[in-house]
Every structure is written in structure tokens, then in C-alpha cells.
Chain A
Amino acid sequence: MEVKTAITSVFFGITTCLLLFSKSAAAVETRFWKDLWKGREYFVQAQAGSYIPDNKNWKKIYGTDASFISEIRGGLSFSRNAEISASAGFCTDHGRGITGSGAESRQEFTIFLIPTSIELSYKLRYSDNQIIVPALGAGADGWYYEEDGGEEGKWTGFKTGGHITMRFNFLLDYLDPTGAKRVEKNYGLQNSYLSFEGKYISFSGAPDFSGWTLYIGLNLQF
């Protein structure tokens, strides 16, 4: 629980820093980057939500259908409609093990997941001031897992899989256009979105971490 809190704090800390220091980040942004990414946008997205695994044993062991998960995603928009991104996240939960026959035990287990992914997305974006921007994406996933059962031992590994994503970004600039323009002028922040994302990840083989992740987050486009 402390680890989860710490990770969440770091996560939101980084997001806050990005917001606070984006001016200096923009100042540091040299001509090189401007030239290289002329006409392109890059973005940072911080989001948190629920991981809903398909694996029925998750609920048996960790006592919940959905665990808290957080993620940071960053990427580039090649055009108004296409973008590529990479993400890394964190999820942990604490529960009690079960026997092979399914009987509940009091032996405590803790699982740590570090999901990483790359994704190619297509955005249905037709103007810069479009209020709602739906997007569809697909990508590859690599999840590191570590499950600690105390005296029963520790299981670790890395799973690979793929995912599809549907995302809706709501333009926050619409709420305060004047402020948005000022922020764009001063800090280089072109658009900010409130993002809702649903992602289905599929893995093959054991252990199976396939399932849904549902996020809500903040997307900042520079």
C-alpha cells in the first residue's frame, strides 16, 4: 500500500513538474527540436484508473475485480491524425494465496506489475479546436511481474502481448479559450485534454494478465 502511494505520488509529482516547468522546458527547446519536429506535436499524458484482469484467480487471491493502476504515456503526433507513443505504469495489490484446489489460505501474497507498451494511434481529429477527439490505437505490451508469497516463494517474469485502445480526449481549452491562448503563448502548451481511455490487453501463456484497463487522465500537447 505504501509502495502504491509512493508511486502515485511520484507520478503526479512528475505531472505537476511538467506543468510548472514547461516554460523552461519550452525555453530549452532548441531550434534543433523546432526544426526537427516542425509541424509535429508531442504530448505527455498522465493517467490513472482500474486494471480489470480476465483471470478469475485475481479476485480469489487479491479480493477485487479491479486494481488501481497508473501510467505515464508520451509520444509524437506525426500528423493531425496519427501518433506514436510509449508508456510505463505501475500496479500493485495485496492478498492471500489459495491452494491448488482453490481453498483460501492466510498466506499473504503481494503482486507488483510494471506494464510497458508502445502504440500507434489514429485520431479522428479534423481541426485544432475540435472539442472531442476520439482515437483508436493498437500496440505491443511488455509486462514485468513479481509476485511475492513470503515463505511460499517469489515468482517473477516478463510477459509480452498486444493491445487495442479506444480513447476520447475532451479539449479543455474550450472551457477557457483566453487562458488557453495565454498558456500557449507563455508555455508552449498547444492543447490540453481530459482523456478517457479503455484498453484491452491480451497475453498468451501463463500467467495470464489479459484484461481491461480503464483510465482517466490529463493529456498535454506541446
Chain B
Amino acid sequence: MRQNTVKRRLILFLFLFLFLLIILLISGRHEAIAEMIAAGSRPNYVAFSPDGKYIYVSNYSDDTIAKIELSTGDTVAVYNTGYEPLSLCLLESKNKLYAANRGDGTISEIDLSSGASVSFSIGNSPWDIVSSPDGDRLYVSLNGDKAIKIFDTTTGEAVATIQLEQTPTGLAITADGSRLFVANRDDDSISLIDPEGGNVVDTIGVGDGPAALECDGNGNYLYVANSYDGTISVVRTWDFVVIKTVEVGRNPIELGMTHSGDRLFVSCNGDDTLYAIDTDTLSTTKIEIEGGPKGLAVSPDDSQICVACFTSDSILRFYNYLIKVISISKNAVNSQGTSCIRWVPETAGNYSIEVGGNYSPSSGTILETGQCQQNLEKESCIRGSQLGQAEGTYRIFLYLKNDPDEYGLNSTEIRLDNTPPSAPTGLEASPGNHKVYLAWNRGSESDLQGYRIYYGTKSGIYDAGPPITIWDADETSYILKELKNNVTYYIAITAFDEAGNESAYSSETKSMPEVILGLAGLSGAKQKEGCFIATASFGSPDHWIVRKFRFLRDHYILRLPEGRRVAGIYYRYSPGIARFIERNKMVRTACRVALLIIAMHIISLQLFGKIWPLSLTIMAVFSMLFIIPRIRKNRGGS
């Protein structure tokens, strides 16, 4: 009996051990799939090994190239280079890696078999390197010499120089090696160069500050990263014409295209974003990352992307599945507030939304998990209280795992802010006719979003109407309308910020709407009134039909520019017509009928918000039946 118990305990222990082992293996695998990998100091450019298992990183401050094993994140080799290595060029056929060393004007050649490194002097400020298809020639743009040097990889010598008029930066070459393109950053142009002839064939203008170039696989299109204006110029190569410009983030600095040619990645150093451009539709997906993205590379099988994060000394690696963040309802929330993220996954699978972490699933606090369908929009709402306790900016990560355990990711930021803005100052109220004019000082907070106006007829009790919200922090005046004249209104305002924090009430002010007069009005001069014809027809400016016409004038006609023009013409000619109506009884009666019908329509407009055509007929008949006998009676009387 006792032996059985021991056996059971052993079996249970074994199961538990196996369970924990599986969990550890799975979690370990997750961390290896999408992650930030430590690199050297100031990683600048990256290149995949031909088998996609390693990534080479040029460390700008270390003067080294690190070889990192992607499955473990370990640096397996470090190669010395010249001073300040910049771009990399890997020649698979020769098993060699070349780096352009901007600081000392050399290029480093690293034999990947032996790890031997040798540097060749090439010219001032080498910037970018591309190779001919056979790998025998390297083209190196020399920023300091306004030239492109042609380097023979077999002999290890510079064999020719293509002299340029502009300062070259990025280079690109077509797959067949027949056309070489160079970006002239200071000239806002790119040039087409014949590599064989060594001459500039054509130069065209692109966006502001072209820095990097990328050619698609079949050489039909060239993409230009314009670093100063945050755009990508799409150039059709056969006629060398810019056919489209796509907006991306600030300071796009490097381009990377999938080998299938369906997607172009752009790293934007100015706002820490990565853009994926669909090369068919040219639609963009923004991926927010951290750490100053610079160089990027796409793995040979197009499944992964590596981005050198210059300021965080790391490499960000993720799968080529995108999560498109469509919108975020609030960039800042308080602990009681909620912000909703609308997003679309590019593949079906399990997703998780986490706050914090290091780009590895489960490295942060998981807020939400679930399943999602391919290209089906989802909305995930995050409460401020879920972000944390301390105020500050929290990064929200969206992870997606599909069936073959491939990950997509994106991230965005939400700021937790529980500090309300200060109460608005300088609130002033001045009366108007059925209205009160308000003005106040703008608050000094940078995240101020607007103001709320509270008003009532008793001090401290703001119940005369719902608070009025102004969604513009720069708007510092408002007209409270449709108030009762000769009633004192007490008014206070509050300010609110992006997170929804509302300030205390401002100091209260009061005002009593009254009829407003100018000099002439105060002196008792007669106002120029509208509705001359109606007044003449009905004999009094206070007749209810005349009042309806005044309503029509004030609420509809004078609010439109055309209406005001018509009113101007009416005021010019109607006094004469009114005098004629006053003198002629028959005309006056006819006008009454016509105006009565129109008045009915105004009532219809007031009550129902639209004109009822049927009422025209009914009212016309009714009016005629009512008025014609009176006309006859008047005639008989006279």
C-alpha cells in the first residue's frame, strides 16, 4: 500500500516535471522569436547570412562587425573594421563581407571562412556599397569625393572612378547589373549611371534629401527614401520618372525589400517608426518601435526582418507579419479612463496585448489575449488602471502568433496622466441680446484639450443647461446663446486635458443678457426693420405672421451669404413696394393670402424641421375661403 503511494507520488512528480519542462521550452522559444537582441555599440547597418541563421551588424562606435546567431541571440564572432563602419555588402559567392568605413576612408573585407579582416583605402567618406551580380565589382559611393569608386574584389584594387557633380549617398543596382542608381542628397535628385561606361546617363529630381535607394528584384521600380521630407519616391526605371510619392515617418534613412518584391520596409529614424509599404497598392503600415532604427535587412526567405536600433545598442527582429494599428482613441488616459486601439492582423492566430516588455511575447504585463481572423479588424480597450500606478508613457505591444509559430508585432504608446490641468483664469462675461459673451485665458498645459462651460441662474448651481464642451484648447471665447433676457446667469468653466482630467471650476462670473444697442439705438432711433411688405400687409410689425417672417429672416435667410445678398436687395426695394401695398387694399389682401401661406410653411419648418408641400394646398384653400368673403364684404361696405 505504502509502495503504491510512493509510486503514485513519483509518477505525479514526473508529470509535473515534464509539464514544467514543456512550459519552459515553449516560453523559451517564444522569447527567441520576436525580440530585442543585444548588439555592439551603436549598431548601424545589418545583413543576413545567406542561410538566414545569422545577422551581421556594423557597430559604428566599436569599429567592429558582430555576427549574431539569431536562434540564441548570442554574438558568435566579432570582426575588426576600419573607423566608423557604415553600410555592409555580403557577397555569397565569395563568402566575403564588405563594410564601408566612413571615418577613415577605407573598406573592410572580411573573409567569413577564416574571419580574417583586411582594409583597403578607397577615398573620402565612403557611404554605401553595392556589388555587381557576379560579385567581382563593388561600387562605393564616396560622399567626400563626389565620386563612385569601382573596386575589384578579385585583385583588391580600385579600378575606376565615376566622377559626379553632386555628393552621393545611397546606391542601388539592378539585378542584372546594367543600371546603377545614386542618390544625390544635397541636390534632391538621383542619377542613373551606366556601370560599364562609367558615365551619368540621366538625373531627375525626387523629394527632399534622398538618402537611400532600393531596387525591386526585376529592376522595374526604384524606391528613394527622402530623408528631409519624410517621403518615399517611387521611380519607374525604364523611363526614369517619379510616378508616385508615399508619405512615411520622419527621416526615413534605410530601405529593405522582400525578395518577393511585395513589401518594402522603411526605417524612420526621426520618429522611431518602421513603415511597411505594399508595393502593389503603396498602402503603408506603421510599426512603432524604440531605439532609433537605422539599417534594416530582410531574411533570404522573407520571413523575418532585422532592424539595427542605433540608440538602444540592439537589433530588433520580428517575423514578416504585420499588425496594422488603425487608430487609437486616446493617446493619454487617466486611471479611470479607457483608450481603445483598433487594429488589423495580417494573419489569423492567437494574439496578446501587453503593456511593457522588450518586444518578446509575455515579457510585459498581459492585458488581453484571444484569437483573431486574418484582415478582420479588432478593437482592444485598455483601462488606465491597467497601465500601472506611476504617471508616464507606457508602450503597448501587440503580438500575434499564427499556426507555424510565427510572430507579428506592433506597438503603440499610451500616456497615463492623473494630474488635472489648472483651473482657467481670467473668465469674463459680457451681456448680449439673449446671449452672454465669454472670454478667458488659455491654460499653459501642453496637453490641454479643451474647456467645459457650466452655467445656471443661481450662484454655484450650474443647472441652466448641460455643460458645453469646447474641444479646442486654443479657443478662449464662447457665446452662450438662447438665454433669457433680464435673468442673471452665473458661469464657471473648467479645463480638461487629453487624458480626461478636468480642472476645478474657474472663479465664477455673472452676466445678465439684455437688448444690446448702439449709439442710435440708445438714443431711441428707429431700427431698420425687415419684413416691410409683411408689416404693410398686416398693418403691424407685431402681427404674429410678421413675427414668423422675422423668424425666417433671422434663423435661415441671414445665416446664408446668398440670403444676406437677397435681403440686401429686399431692403433696397421693399419700402417702395410696402408703400404701394399700404395704399392699395386689393393688393394688400392678395399679399395677406400669399404671406399667410408662406407663414404656414415657416410654422411647418419650425415644428417639423421641413416644409410640407401638402400644407401649401390646404392652407391656400383655407385662406381663400376665409378671406374672399371678407373682400366681398369690404367691397359691399365701400
Contact = CB atoms under 8 A, between A and B. Distances in A.
Interface of A: 55, 57-58, 61-62, 95, 97-101, 103-107, 109, 111, 145, 147, 149, 151-157, 206-208
B431 A61 contact: no
A197 to B, nearest CB: 24
B518 A147 contact: yes
A58 B518 CA distance: 9
Contacts of A99: 431, 512, 514-517
Given A109-B519, A154-B528, A155-B518, 11 more contacts: A61-B519, A97-B517, A103-B514, A105-B516, A107-B437, A111-B518, A149-B517, A149-B521, A157-B526, A207-B523, A208-B523
A153 B515 CA distance: 11
A161 to B, nearest CB: 14
Interface of B: 430-433, 437, 439, 511-512, 514-529, 554
A98 to B, nearest CB: 7
B433 A152 contact: yes
The residue in B431, B439, B554 that gathers the most chain A C-beta atoms within 10 A of its C-beta is: B431
A206 to B, nearest CB: 3
Given A103-B430, A107-B432, A151-B433, A58 B519 contact: yes
Contacts of B554: 151
A103 B431 contact: yes
The residue in A95, A153, A157 that gathers the most chain B C-beta atoms within 10 A of its C-beta is: A153
A55 B519 contact: yes
The residue in A55, A145, A149 that gathers the most chain B C-beta atoms within 10 A of its C-beta is: A149
A99 B436 CA distance: 12
8 contacts: A99-B431, A100-B522, A104-B430, A105-B430, A106-B430, A147-B519, A149-B516, A155-B527
A134 B149 CA distance: 93
Contacts of A154: 527-528
For the residues of B in contact with A, the DSSP-based class is mixed
Nearest to A93: B519
Nearest to B433: A152
A98 B528 contact: no
A207 B522 CA distance: 8
Given A97-B516, A99-B514, A155-B518, A207 B525 contact: yes
Contacts of A62: 519
B515 A155 contact: no
B570 to A, nearest CB: 13
Contacts of B529: 153
A149 B432 contact: no
A152 B523 CA distance: 15
A62 B431 CA distance: 17
Contacts of B514: 99-101, 103
Nearest to B518: A109
A98 B431 CA distance: 8
B515 A145 contact: no
B525 A155 contact: yes
A196 to B, nearest CB: 28
B527 A153 contact: yes
A101 B522 CA distance: 10
Contacts of A149: 516-518, 521
